[in-house]
Structure 1
Amino acid sequence: MYPPDQIELLRSIYGEGVEERSDGQDHYIFIPGLKMPQGCTPERTDALFCLQSFAPSCGGYTSRLFLRDRVASPHIPNNFSSYLIAAETWHAYSHNNVQHGPYPEMIMNHLRGLLVAC
């Protein structure tokens, strides 16, 4: 579903474990052990990245970054919620209007959203 060149770009940055995953009609990119911004706990967690066009479960967000672990910080992000995706619990915070572009840039923009909270 996702452009192969973008998947390969993510693999070149985050490793061979990057893969597409589906849950019904929703499609995600799995990123194992994504490094969180400095000051966040845990330091790394698995992530699911999605674009609204590929995952209607993004709930109106242009894109979402779901995290396996709820990220702890001195300042908890607004609207940090839990979601059931492929029978697993994932967490996401409210961070919208990330401009479309190369996927690594979009993921970094989501992570920058955590910087104000960590």
Structure 2
Amino acid sequence: MHAFDVLGDPVRRRILELLADGEQSSGAVTTVIRAEFGISQPAVSQHLKVLRDNGFATVRPSGARRLYAVDDTALRQADEWLGRFRRFWTPHLAAMATEVARGRRIRRLTATDDIRSIDD
């Protein structure tokens, strides 16, 4: 399975988001995913298996629990593949950052001017 096939599923993306915050038990992951997506525990287990089998997650036993964590192997491979396309969005993101900073500066200056007019 290609990395983007794995990441194309919103449930698996959400599971990775949860794991990015730190190691999680399968029960904790299931609780969140069931609440957000309304799927069964066996379905969540299948998504965890896909993530594990494709290099996105690791699992370790801890007593009766199974603890999952992000494995960056497949994420690094996807990032490497995307590297050749970054030139298409990097300049646009830099331009957007400049505009955001400009907008903040204008709001800050406007707020300062408003305070001065109140004081006058």
Larger-Rg structure: 2
TM-score of the alignment, normalized to the shorter chain, above 0.5: no
Q: TM-score, normalised by structure 2?
A: 0.23
Q: Whose strand fraction is larger, Structure 1's or Structure 2's? A: 1
Q: Whose helix fraction is larger, Structure 1's or Structure 2's? A: 2
Q: TM-score, normalised by structure 1?
A: 0.23
